[in-house]
Structure 1
Amino acid sequence: MKSKFNVKQLTLLGMMIAILLLMSFTPLGYLNVGPLAITFNVIPVAIAALALGPAGGLIAGFVFGLTSFLQCLGIGGLSLMGSTLFGINPFFSIILCFVPRMLDGLLLGFIFRGVSRLNRVAACFVTGFCAAFLNTAFFMSTLVLLFGRTEYVQGLMNGQNVLVFICTFAGINAVCEMLSSTIITGAVGTVLCKAKLIPDTPTKKSKTQETNA
């Protein structure tokens, strides 16, 4: 995994982290609907993964997880679900805040690299979609895995099947996140590609030419 960044990449990473912090601690990053919130914080994570690969996505995902954890403590805002889960099991809450977001950012870097071998613009939009989709999938799966037997989550499930619960509970929130993340990440990523701020990914053809040379 590439972990050495040039000055432009470090500057871009710093900007994404700054935007992520701004969005996390202001109403810009969340739209509260029911017990869950529609979050737009996956977008800076996705853009960091586009420009800096898996390592950049992992770092941005860690920052995203940190802001979520702080909100469980009422710092920079309060997450009602987060604070409730933290009261039930602090250690599991830390895992829930960090692991899904970091894993999301890490995988986005690989997803972009893989798809960009076919088409870089399409890869930006695909990565944006996957950012929101994987964030929801990882978060909800971890929630059920760690807290599924607790009275709080059992009350939310209300006797539903796990898959039905995840789909209905995330619901419109997840759809809005996927749409916004796909459009914004795709648009910003396309601009960054044209500005040469995202390194080129060698295609199979170019690799073959280099080998023959």
Structure 2
Amino acid sequence: MKKSTKTLRLVQLGLLIAVELIFAYTPLGYMKPAGLEITFLMVPVTIGAILLGPAAGAILGGVFGLTSFSTCFGTSPFGAALLSINPFFTFLVCVGPRILAGWLGGVVFQASNLGAKEKPREFSFALTSLVTPLFNTLFFMTSLVLCFYQTDYIQNIVNVLGATNPFSFVALFVGLQGLVEAAVCWLISGILCRALYPVLYRNTVAKPVAESASENTAAPEQKPEL
């Protein structure tokens, strides 16, 4: 990859980080219909994972996680309660799942395009846009249960919800909101990525889905760069 291409990728990643921060610290990142609080914070993560690859997805997931952790210092009562119990576990729960979700989103996109020669398969955009926010919810709730389920604070929530085990707690705690967030991310990210991908890579034959493979094999000819 040429230096100019790397610079362009860094600029694109920087723009997505800026969008992530705007979503995190302004009302633009949230929608509150019918008592729910739907966040758009996984949208830039998913877009980065698809357009720029797993590493970019992980970085954007880390930014999401750090902004989430920052809310534990006053703006989120739930986060503040976890922070008072165990700061290290709180950091782990906030940041770790988001990094893993962003990285795996990029891996899923690449894996779903193995063997694709000139352009990504159409279903890969929808698939990645759906599984990435689902990964986020799954990993976040799993880490929350592993780190805090036995604490008095979470047990009080368990009793209020009427949960009988960790699985029912996850279902009741996430509920409809998690499914709506996944649907929103799937719709927005899928549409944006499908429109942006051919624009960003209009001058290349080998897309990012093929770059990891091309690095391990000798190419018979130089592929055009951005």
The verdict on a shared fold, with TM-score over 0.5 as the criterion, is yes
Over residues 10-62 of structure 1, what are the superposed CA-to-partner deviations in whole Å (9 max), with x where a residue is unaligned?
Answer: 121111100100000011223469xx943210110111111221110111011
Please say if residues 116 and 122 of structure 1, whose CA atoms lie closer than 8 Å, have aligned partners that are also in contact. Answer: no
1:192 corresponds to: 196
Q: Residue in 2 aligned with 1:59?
A: 59
In structure 2, the partner of 1:85 is 82
The separation in 2 between residues aligned to 1:63 and 1:71, in whole angstroms, is 13
Cα distance in 1 for residues equivalent to 2:97 and 2:139: 5
Instruction: Look up the SS of the partner of 1:149 in the other structure.
Output: coil
2:224 is aligned to none
C-alpha change, 1:61 and 1:200, in structure 2 (3 Å) is closer
Q: Are residues 32 and 155 of structure 1, via their aligned partners in 2, closer, same or farther at CA, if it must alter by over 3 Å?
A: farther
Choose which of 160, 166, 170 in structure 2 pairs with 1:166: 170
The whole-number CA distance in structure 2 between the counterparts of 1:53 and 1:164 is: 34
Structure 2: 5+ residue stretches without partners: 222-226
Query: Which amino acid in the other structure matches residue 9 of structure 1?
Result: R
Query: Which residue of the partner structure matches residue 182 of structure 1?
Result: 186
The residue aligned with 1:122 is 123
Q: Please name the residue that 1:141 is paired with.
A: 142
Which AA in structure 1 matches 2:141? M
TM-score by length of 1: 0.85
The separation in 2 between residues aligned to 1:180 and 1:12, in whole angstroms, is 23
Q: Distance in 2 between matches of 1:72 and 1:211?
A: 49
Residue of structure 2 equivalent to 1:201:
209
**TM-align CA RMSD:** 2.8
Q: How many residues align?
A: 203
Asked if the contact 1:85/1:93 (under 8 Å) is kept, the reply is yes
**Structure 1 residues 19 and 106, CA, compared in 2 at 3 Å: closer, same or farther?**
same
Q: Contact (CA 8 Å) 2:109, 2:128: kept in 1 or not? A: yes
> Conserved in 2, the CA contact under 8 Å of 1:9 and 1:197?
no
State the partner residue of 1:23: 23
The offset of 1:8, in angstroms, is 2.5
Quick one: distance in 2 between partners of 1:6 and 1:104? 24
Classify the secondary structure of the residue corresponding to 1:160: coil
Specify the alignment match of 1:48 in structure 2: 48
**Bigger-Rg structure (1/2):** 2
* TM superposition shift of 1:120: 3.0
Q: Which ranges of structure 1 fall in alignment gaps of 5 or more residues?
A: none
SS in 1 for 2:28: coil
Matched, 1:97 2:97: no
**Which TM-score applies when normalising by structure 2?**
0.80
Confirm or deny: 8 A CA contact 2:109 2:209 kept in the other structure: no
